[in-house]
Amino acid sequence: MSLSPLGASRSLAAVFTPIKSGGLVDEVCRRIELAVESGLLASGQRLPNEIELAAALGVSAVTAREALSQLRGQGLIRTTRGRSGGSFVTENSFPSAGRAREKLLGLTRLQITDLGLHFQAIAVACAGVAARRSSTEDVEALRQYIRPETAAGESATAFAWRLSAAEFLLELASVARSARLARELLHLQADVGTMTLLPFEDPGFCEKTAAMNHAITEAVATHDSEAAEARTKELTTATTNWLLAEHSDSQNKH
């Protein structure tokens, strides 16, 4: 079907696409998955019961019950009965490299490239404005996320690296002081979040990320917008390229 150039635009036609039902249960599940994935809810931790959950998230008890049941089906939580019973986040449910690889392999090369481009567009725009608006405190805040904190002699886990890398980019958006860009970056990280665990299992990639984060921070500190944009472009390209290479390798093995 082709639309007449004089008719309604394609973006307007999207207004009349069907609205999916059952969205609320999925939304509650997504929030809990995100809380577990970001480390806010830890493995083995008890979840609020359905009444508490319903009150906290402002949904009905029925919705909360359905969401818990759906999460149980996914294996993200387990429920035990009795006095010390309740719902608990299962051990090693998240974040797992297995799940990340599964998600990566479920995508096409085209989807990975497209997601990478979107991510790059937002992150690079943040970097350019951040360099213009940064204060000394802003630069200090960025420095905290160049690499994850570790106790002396210990090395950071892939999970800690990924969390720190995500925080670094969010901090960059905060320094840029654009609410729209920051929100977009949050959504994108929820989309790519699980997968970006994979490259951080590679120590070489971790060190390369720290070096690039450092270079971005220096550019922001010296108010060099062009350099901040260029370094951020390299950073996002490195992630996309790593994922594409991994995607090819895994497919060749199968």
By beta-carbon proximity to another protein, the closer residue of 161 and 242 is 161
| Shortest Å, Cβ 197 to another protein | 18
**Spatial CB neighbours of 226, under 8 Å, sequence gap ≥ 6:** 128
| Shortest Å, Cβ 184 to another protein | 10
| Shortest Å, Cβ 163 to another protein | 11
d(CA 152, CA 140): 21
By beta-carbon proximity to another protein, the closer residue of 15 and 151 is 151
By beta-carbon proximity to another protein, the closer residue of 52 and 102 is 52
By beta-carbon proximity to another protein, the closer residue of 122 and 243 is 122
d(CA 112, CA 181): 20
**Residue owning tokens 């860009």:** 181
Q: How many CA atoms lie within 13 A of 86 on its CB side?
A: 14
Q: Which residue type sits at 101?
A: R
Question: Which residue ranges make up the site for another protein (CB under 8 A)?
Answer: 31-32, 35, 39-42, 45-48, 52, 56-58, 132-133, 135, 137, 170, 173-174, 177-179, 182-183, 186
By beta-carbon proximity to another protein, the closer residue of 45 and 79 is 45
| Shortest Å, Cβ 155 to another protein | 21
Q: Is 222 left (phi over 0), alpha (psi -120 to 50) or beta?
A: alpha
Long-range contacts of 73-80 (CB under 8 A, 24+ apart): 74/29, 76/32, 76/33, 76/36, 77/32, 77/47
| Shortest Å, Cβ 9 to another protein | 28
